Chain A
């Protein structure tokens, strides 16, 4: 039984390992530039990994935030506009974080004030943020973009900087999630909200904490978006919201949250997706077929995870 549990718990990590080995094997056979490919994988994964790591706190509580992509875009746009006026990268970084945390706070406070499920307020917030994206771009006067000079961020567009940001944020999240009451109580709230409430745990308080931590990730993701692609348009980060959901589930996170939530799910999922995409391209699968293959693998992951959970009681 212990071996079986271990296999299930390690399945996402093993999956990533298989994909990494597959990438190197297929890549070497096909003669692709695997070293450059690793750089591409990091570039394609890092924003989703950072945002999704923060989002794990929300998912753990059995909640869901659909506005993360739009929030990333708004934070990046405001930060980009601040750069254009101040030419100060530190201020740009701080703005990016502050805007994202502010949006996250607004989400959670609104849910608390109106006593609504958090998911509902994030749907409303998604519309507001999408409108704000258009407004910000128009305010900027170019009609289509906010363009931070690429020279300004070129020195930060390195793998070292991106990995450093991801590692630091991930370390903070691991600490909060696994070694403080925050993570434990959020798991409790996700597993059984009523029971958690009866023991004196405040849903609102932990919801606000989860959103603030997630907001920090969104802010970092927004800054990394500026660093990677400093020409910001209405499409900036448009796929991040959906990619975060896919990455979290791909990484083995139960969609209902609770005790089996894992902080590392987001990073595992984000990198797994990118390696999978690279392998698809190597097999010359066009994007339509690639998406179907990904969907099939995704289903398999969810099916296995769901089957495993049904056979067992809560972890003791």
Chain B
């Protein structure tokens, strides 16, 4: 097994459109985002924010009626994924980019044991040494606190939700991919199982030297494991920076609103505030101007007409007109 180092990823001006009766609508409107090698990046956003579409773009796996209509996704050692096709693309998936699907619990084949599915995976990637692959899988499952032999002999219905999720992670890692994408890895798991899965994700990430991308709607999940955090809204990355800084001192009004909307265990519970309005869907994303303006407490005139350009200052990228102007500093007080 060759040991490669963690790859970096550079997404540049990526646009993905979905074909609908109302014409082609953008699910991603020119997203630029870099994943530094060896880090865990989190993408948080609500349904319809484009976070899953962005994750699928890393595999060039956006399904029709969607298509990547512009931009590039550069992965170290793989080149621009958007240009890959056919066999090349198939080989990259799984080998270079591991993907743990949303509801991994339900993405296993119910008719085959986990071991049989693993052998299928090995054959489709022309593995000569299948026993070694099984051995790796057993070791990985053992690392995640499961009895590897038993799990490989099991059908999916014989495994609990937390176990299936770990099997999903095993499938993503067993071909020695060093870029791993986890789409909602803990949805539908309860708190204690969630905490143990997150611990595994973090440990395995460090042990194997991965670049990890976690897609989630849960700010807490992102806070727990990620080094860097990108917040998406209406097909755009509205804020990106080191996790503790984004959470501790959010700059974009949406990030601020999201954090305030989390009921917490400490502090005054009545300080939690709902965000007014509701997130846009594909059809209701404004054609021009800022996508967040309808719900924004610090909206200014220019927001109606001009889509704010992401501006990077001190390792933090924010796409907001009101925050972009240093003359009018935004303090959390304005939301009290």
User: Are A and B a genuine interacting pair, yes or no?
Assistant: no
What residues of chain B have their CB less than 8 Å away from a CB belonging to chain A? none
What residues of chain A have their CB less than 8 Å away from a CB belonging to chain B? none
